[in-house]
Amino acid sequence: MTDIQQYLEKLRAGDKLALSRVLTHVENNTPEGIFALETLFPQTGRAHMIGITGSPGTGKSTLVNSLAMHLRKKPESPRIAIIAVDPSSPYSGGALLGDRVRMRDLHGDRGIFIRSMASRGALGGLSHRTAALAQVLDAAGFEIILIETVGAGQSEVEIASLAHTVIVVEAPGMGDEIQAIKAGILEIANILVVNKADRPGVENSTRALRAMLQMAHPGDYMPMARKHLFNALESPTTAPEQSQETEIWMPPVVQTIATEGNGLDELMQAIEDHLAYLKRGQGWAMRDKENLALEMEGLIREHLTQRWLAQMPEARLEEVMLALQQRKISPHQALEKLLTYN
């Protein structure tokens, strides 16, 4: 624990090696990692988190690199962190290789930090770990955090939706991919990018996306426990002149050629517009509330379940589970039998 305290001090001073070590502890959920998250928590809630997602082949990684370099050129030269949820095999160490390739692109800019995350074995826990890494980077003073995910699976949707601003990337002429984009991802998009805009079919893709946007409407599903926690959080009172409750954000469709930097200014403008929109209304605070409710829900569930299982005699548990296995009782009956023990 003394080591981690030293790392945390160095991290605050901008030491990237110390930051990497803290992130590794947090990613592996070690006691030091939990301690780090706890210690850093008061400094969180400030970074603008931007999720970028899309199918493989859309040039998403190049776009993220290009966007990071463009953002750095802004007058205030914000410090930028990239979390790349890496598609490589969880077990082959692909994430490390990816890191090196990308590090080379952004080489020499001390204001950009890249972290790849393998998706190894973290079924169900990937979005939780991503959120934790983002918290550390937020506390470390990065003003903008780009969270890059691949694919349009439900987990990717979850990860992207941790962010304040979600950018969905498409490319022309990927007929099948347009289907993939429909898998719940259009509903969470705040900005749509048609990358590789020098390819044929760019206008068709743009038109198709605009048409699909007309049909999409965001879902607001939240499990009961999380909703309960969410509702317990305070909503900021909006000043009268700001109370544009009815203002609706229409996701713009931006065309880019990331390899040449084309369209990046328009994309940055769209990001700034969305940020301004969030801050005008309650969008910024809502995202924070959602993330806090999600985090507390996870902690409470995990703690209650482990505490409860720990005090359950093994013999009793085995007896009930055996009856379940033999189909003598149903899952709900098994739950009841276990509950009446307490």
- Which of these ranges, 31-39, 190-198, 201-209, 267-275, lies near its own copies under the rule CB under 8 A? 31-39
Q: How far is the CB of 269 from its own copies (least distance, A)?
A: 28
DSSP letter at 196 equals -
User: According to CB under 8 A, which one of 18, 67, 81, 334 is a site residue for its own copies?
Assistant: 334
The angle, 0 to 180 degrees and rounded to 10, between the axes of the packed helices 31-40 and 16-27 is 120
Query: Tokens at residue 267, please?
Result: 């994309």
Indicate the pairing of strand 191-194 with strand 165-170. parallel
| CB neighbour list of residue 119: distance below 8 Å, 6 or more residues apart | 85, 86, 87, 90, 126
Q: How far is the CB of 108 from its own copies (least distance, A)?
A: 28
- Which of these ranges, 16-24, 193-201, 256-264, 307-315, lies near its own copies under the rule CB under 8 A? 307-315
Binding mask 186-215 for its own copies (x = CB under 8 A): xx------------------------x--x
User: According to CB under 8 A, which one of 18, 19, 37, 258 is a site residue for its own copies?
Assistant: 37
Residues 108-147 that bind its own copies (CB under 8 A): 119-126
Query: Tokens at residue 284, please?
Result: 């910024």
* Closest to 139 (Cα-Cα) out of 28, 11, 289, 17: 11
Size of the site for its own copies (CB under 8 A): 95
Q: Judged by CB, which is closer to its own copies: 106, or 213?
A: 213
| CB neighbour list of residue 7: distance below 8 Å, 6 or more residues apart | 18, 21, 22, 36
User: According to CB under 8 A, which one of 138, 148, 156, 170 is a site residue for its own copies?
Assistant: 156
Does 335 engage in binding with its own copies (CB under 8 A)? yes
* Closest to 169 (Cα-Cα) out of 248, 101, 253, 102: 253
- Which of these ranges, 3-11, 76-84, 151-159, 250-258, lies near its own copies under the rule CB under 8 A? 151-159
In the chain, which residue ranges form alpha helices assigned H by DSSP? 2-12, 16-27, 31-40, 60-72, 94-105, 126-139, 154-160, 175-181, 202-215, 224-232, 264-280, 283-310, 314-325, 331-341
Residues 157-186 that bind its own copies (CB under 8 A): 157-158, 161, 175-177, 179-180, 182-184, 186
Q: How far is the CB of 159 from its own copies (least distance, A)?
A: 9
Residue 231, classified by CB atoms within 10 Å of its CB into exposed (0-12), middle (13-18) or buried (19+), is exposed
| CB neighbour list of residue 128: distance below 8 Å, 6 or more residues apart | 295, 298
Kind and range of the H or E run holding 192:
strand 191-194
Residues 241-270 that bind its own copies (CB under 8 A): none
Does 299 engage in binding with its own copies (CB under 8 A)? yes
User: According to CB under 8 A, which one of 76, 241, 245, 314 is a site residue for its own copies?
Assistant: 314
Q: Judged by CB, which is closer to its own copies: 103, or 216?
A: 216
* Closest to 294 (Cα-Cα) out of 150, 135, 188: 135
Q: Contacts from 175-179 at CB under 8 Å and sequence distance 24+?
A: 177/55, 177/57, 177/58, 178/205, 178/208
Q: How far is the CB of 110 from its own copies (least distance, A)?
A: 28
User: According to CB under 8 A, which one of 27, 32, 138, 297 is a site residue for its own copies?
Assistant: 297
User: According to CB under 8 A, which one of 228, 247, 261, 276 is a site residue for its own copies?
Assistant: 228
Binding mask 52-91 for its own copies (x = CB under 8 A): ---xxx-----------------------------xxxxx
User: According to CB under 8 A, which one of 78, 94, 141, 252 is a site residue for its own copies?
Assistant: 94
